[in-house]
Amino acid sequence: MKTIIQVIIVAFIVISILLSLPSILKQRDFKVYEDDLLRKTAIAKGLKAIPNNYEDLEKIYKEKDITLDKEKILLGKELFFDTKLSSNDDTSCSTCHLISKNPQEKKIILNALTSNKQPNDMQDANNCVLCHLGDESGTDRLATSVGSNGELNPYHLNTLTILNTSLAKFLTWTGEVKSLEEEVDKAIKSPHQLNMNEKTLLEKLHNDEKYKNMNLNYEDIKISIASYVRTLLTRSSFDRFLEGDNNAINAQAKQGLANFMNFGCSGCHTGMSVGGQSVQRFPLRHFAGIHDLRPNLGSPPDFEIIDNSFPFENKGGFKGRANTNFFRVPILRNVTKTSPYFHNGAVDKIKEAVEIMGRHQLGINLTSKQIDEITAFLKTLEGNIVNYDEGANK
């Protein structure tokens, strides 16, 4: 009996110490940046502004040995929104990569949400789509993607945003796809995406008034859609700050940017796209086998038992490239518009996603203030698609 009481006392002391650590440990002190130094540091770490005119856009792609062709861009735009690319004429690229406020596109997504197919999956999807169909998110806001004929992704993977992906070195959740043309090909042929084969697609397009005189081949289709996607870049207040406008973002966001760099987030989330430049292990740190104490996200702490592979339920069982927990680093442009987060849409809120990344990727228990500051910075990455046809869109 005495031993049991001693064990209980020791356990109580250990738990009390764990709960007290955030308040008794001194927070790391970081230098406060002046605006010019903050901007120079950000640029030095690879954070660059999106071009605001077609000429500068062409220069970016010339560095990658890619030439933009306006005719292919226009054709690609037509194809991107055309449901004939799918086996049942019910899905287009833009159905999953929503970038328009087209009522028909919204209707298709809502039908998928309310369909009788796989109802439990849809009900549990933590969907934000019902309230945010008007956002230019470049995704469908579903926890698991829905393809032609209502087919769900077999691994419960959600749709990555199409916006700014042309600036990334690696595509898809595993990062195994290296070019937009390859990704277009996979999307067209995948059974849980457009579910189409080359022969049938060409027959459909050759019989369509819009395309029958173009003598299209399958390579034309891939290249044209990829060309259009290369124009789907977004500019935001963060770009204006990088270009010298100190008033473009507020003080909280500036501190969030400083945190973002000082804590190491910018080591992986870099480049014009603020991500997509590497493939990294996630999570790097597992902490305990229980859901760790989270003093910043409410009281009392959550002790929920979880799968120790991830800091959330890994619905779908997907574990990255070759089951090694390696994932492409997500693009953070417009990240506040692309919830739910992580590969299976397990997390709804951006602040919770930031907290998880701090703990399980950086090994830092971020304070509520730091989470708010980083979130404020991430909101400065919200932007609209630049209309390069009409010149600068600042």
* Separation of first and last alpha carbons in the chain: 73
Total length of the chain: 394
- Which one-letter amino acid corresponds to residue 238? F
Element (H, E) at 235: strand 234-236
Element (H, E) at 257: helix 251-262
Q: Compute the distance between CA of residue 150 and CA of residue 144 in angstroms, rounded to an integer.
A: 11
Q: Compute the distance between CA of residue 60 and CA of residue 53 in angstroms, rounded to an integer.
A: 11
pLDDT tens, position by position, for the chain (394 residues)?
556 666 566 556 656 555 554 444 444 545 668 999 999 999 999 999 999 999 999 999 999 999 999 999 999 999 999 999 999 998 999 999 998 655 555 555 555 555 544 434 444 444 455 555 556 689 988 999 988 888 899 999 999 999 999 999 999 999 999 999 999 999 999 999 999 999 999 999 999 999 989 999 999 999 999 999 999 999 999 999 999 999 999 999 999 999 999 999 999 999 999 999 999 999 988 764 444 444 445 445 444 444 568 889 899 999 999 999 999 999 999 999 999 999 999 999 999 999 999 999 999 999 999 999 999 999 999 999 999 975 434 4
Q: What are phi and psi of 373, to 5 degrees?
A: -65, -45
Closest residue by Cα to residue 148 from 197, 102, 182, 181:
197
Kindly report the CA angle at 72 between 338 and 91, in degrees rounded to 5?
45
According to DSSP, residue 301 is labeled P
Per the listing, tokens 């991107």 go with 80
DSSP characters over 7-57: HHHHHHHHHHHHHHHHHHSPPPP-PPPPHHHHHHHHHHTT--PPPSSHHHH
Q: Compute the distance between CA of residue 8 and CA of residue 292 in angstroms, rounded to an integer.
A: 20
Kindly report the CA angle at 164 between 44 and 134, in degrees rounded to 5?
130
The number of C-alpha atoms within 13 Å of 341 and in the hemisphere containing its C-beta is 21
β-partners of residue 146 are 152
* CA distances, 269 to each of 18, 333, 375 (Å): 31, 10, 14
370 within 8 A of 252, measured Cβ to Cβ: no
Q: Compute the distance between CA of residue 316 and CA of residue 298 in angstroms, rounded to an integer.
A: 28
C-beta contacts of 83-88 below 8 A and 24+ residues apart: 84/201, 84/204, 84/205, 84/208, 85/188, 85/194, 85/196, 85/201, 86/147, 86/148, 86/194, 86/195, 86/196, 87/148, 87/149, 87/194, 87/195, 87/196, 87/200, 88/148, 88/149, 88/195
Q: What are phi and psi of 68, to 5 degrees?
A: -85, 135
171 within 8 A of 165, measured Cβ to Cβ: yes
For residue 290, what are its two tokens? Answer: 């229980």
